[in-house]
């Protein structure tokens, strides 16, 4: 469990750092495995990997409390793992099997968990932003003190509905953290080519919504920013924007050769800024953990991912009558078609 301490380096406990290391590594290894299964044809359709962006969700989940909600786009595997969903169920959804979170009927981009307060997994760029504000609307209506994280990318930040939502979230003081995961490329279009402002979070100023720019490769910085934003929302002051600068190492999806950026750019980011390596270095330099300790964690994570992959291959395809279930919340009476 993450502690509520300040994220300033001297105060970070070994336990906390180890938790972040483990959670980020789980996402990284899970995604690598998903890429591999995609390559083997076991995962179909579109598959958008989260590799490189792990610190964003792990840092923000550390700032969340039980019962807080989250909703995101189609690049959603990391969010699901970070909020505690079972890697087996996620991987089995990727392979379209009965054991998946949506019984194989949603796929990579459309997964949900009511238990873990994860509201998707949305395939339409930007649509999750008003939905996130709506979840916050419901919480405010119920006066339950919950906060919603509505994640979207720098690409979605140019959808009109985002600004319609900013406006209403501000006038209704909704407890929602708008998280802009700025990985700098909307599919193949760089931010410079698509976005009129350099810093997207500044756009919140037009609606009176405060915001911060955050180093998304540093999990401690993300957690600290997240705590500030959550405290703002929970105290009834309305929405908050976090623009989290991050980087995806892989293409937009599995079928994207990523020719719009240089290999050097990607390599430089991996070598100098990698979020997992940063925490690893902190653990070792601070003598919080030995190489052996970390190797044991690596092994443990590898085993979890391997079991998830096995489960996703062994779980059967959905029964054929599943085609006709879950269309309506109750069956339409037999006497009408």
Considering only residues 244 through 273, tell me which ones interact with another protein, judged by CB under 8 A: 249-251, 254-259, 263, 270
* Dihedral class, residue 13 (left if φ above 0, else alpha if ψ from -120 to 50, else beta): beta
* Listed residue (251, 254, 70, 272) closest to 177, CA to CA: 70
Helix (H, G, I), strand (E, B) or coil at 118: strand
Q: Minimum distance between the CB of residue 250 and another protein, rounded to whole angstroms?
A: 8
Q: Is 1 in the site for another protein (CB under 8 A)?
A: no
Nearer residue to another protein within complex by CB, 15 or 164 = 164
Report, in Å, the least distance between residue 177 CB and another protein.
Answer: 14
Q: Is 86 helix (H, G, I), strand (E, B) or coil?
A: coil
Rank residues 98 and 212 by Cβ distance to another protein and give the closer one: 98
Taking a C-beta distance cutoff of 8 angstroms, is the pair 28, 54 a contact? yes
Distance in Å, CB of 15 to another protein, minimum: 26
Under rule CB under 8 A, which residues in 204-243 are in contact with another protein?
none
324 lies in the site for another protein, by CB under 8 A: yes
Site string for another protein, 109-128 (x = CB under 8 A): -xxxxx----xxxxxx--x-
Looking at the Cβ atoms of 1 and 336, the one nearer to another protein is 336
Give the interface size with another protein as a residue count (CB under 8 A): 83
| Residue with Cβ nearer another protein (142 or 198) | 142
Residue environment code for 105-140, b if the CB has 16+ CB neighbours within 10 A, otherwise e: bbbbbbbbbeebbbbbbbbebbbbbbbbbbbbbebb
Q: Please give the backbone phi and psi of residue 227, each rounded to the nearest 5 degrees, phi first.
A: -65, -40
Minimum CB distance to another protein, residue 294 (Å): 14
Sign of dihedral through CA atoms 102, 31, 252, 247? Answer: positive
Nearer to another protein, 75 or 288 (CB): 75
Q: Which is nearer to another protein, 15 or 310 (CB)?
A: 310
- φ, ψ at 301 (rounded to 5°): -65, -45
User: Least distance from C-beta 42 to another protein, angstroms?
Assistant: 5
40 part of the interface to another protein, by CB under 8 A = yes
Cβ contact 242:201 at 8 Å: yes
DSSP 8-state class, residue 331: P
Contacts of another protein in 184-203 (CB under 8 A): none
6-35 mask for another protein (x: CB under 8 A)? --------------------------xx-x
Which residues, 152 to 181, sit near another protein by CB under 8 A? 160-161, 164-165, 167-168, 171
Q: What ranges in 261-334 are assigned the alpha helix state H? A: 263-273, 275-285, 291-314
Residue labelled with tokens 């070792």: 284
Whichever of 200 and 301 has its CB closer to another protein, that residue is: 301
47 with 210: CB under 8 angstroms? Answer: no
Q: How far is the CB of 114 from another protein (least distance, A)?
A: 5
């Amino acid at each position: 469990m993450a502690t509520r301490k300040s994220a300033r380096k001297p105060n970070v406990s070994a336990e906390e750092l180890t938790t972040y290391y483990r959670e980020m590594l789980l996402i990284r290894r899970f995604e690598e495995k998903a890429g591999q299964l995609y390559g083997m044809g076991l995962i179909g359709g579109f598959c958008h990997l989260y590799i490189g962006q792990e610190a964003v969700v792990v840092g923000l989940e550390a700032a969340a409390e039980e019962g807080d909600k989250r909703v995101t786009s189609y690049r959603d595997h990391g969010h699901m793992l970070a909020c505690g969903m079972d890697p087996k169920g996620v991987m089995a959804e990727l392979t379209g099997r009965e054991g998946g979170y949506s019984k194989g009927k949603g796929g990579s981009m459309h997964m949900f968990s009511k238990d873990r307060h994860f509201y998707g997994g949305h395939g339409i760029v930007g649509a999750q932003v008003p939905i996130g504000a709506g979840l916050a609307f419901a919480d405010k209506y119920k006066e339950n003190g919950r906060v919603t994280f509505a994640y979207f990318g720098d690409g979605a930040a140019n959808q009109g509905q985002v600004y319609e939502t900013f406006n209403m979230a501000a006038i209704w003081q909704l407890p929602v953290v708008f998280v802009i995961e700025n990985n700098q490329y909307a599919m193949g279009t760089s931010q410079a080519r698509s976005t009129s402002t350099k810093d997207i979070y500044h756009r919140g100023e037009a609606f009176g919504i405060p915001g911060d720019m955050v180093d998304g490769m540093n999990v401690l910085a993300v957690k600290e920013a997240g705590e500030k934003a959550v405290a703002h929302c929970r105290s009834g002051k309305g929405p908050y924007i976090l623009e989290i600068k991050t980087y995806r190492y892989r293409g937009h999806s599995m079928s994207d050769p990523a020719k719009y950026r240089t290999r050097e750019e990607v390599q430089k980011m991996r070598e100098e800024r990698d979020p997992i390596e940063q925490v690893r270095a902190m653990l070792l330099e601070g003598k919080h953990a030995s190489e052996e300790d970390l190797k044991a964690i690596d092994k443990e994570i590898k085993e979890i991912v391997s079991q998830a992959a096995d489960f996703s291959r062994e779980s059967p395809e959905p029964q054929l009558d599943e085609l006709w279930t879950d269309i309506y919340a109750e069956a339409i009476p037999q006497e009408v078609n």
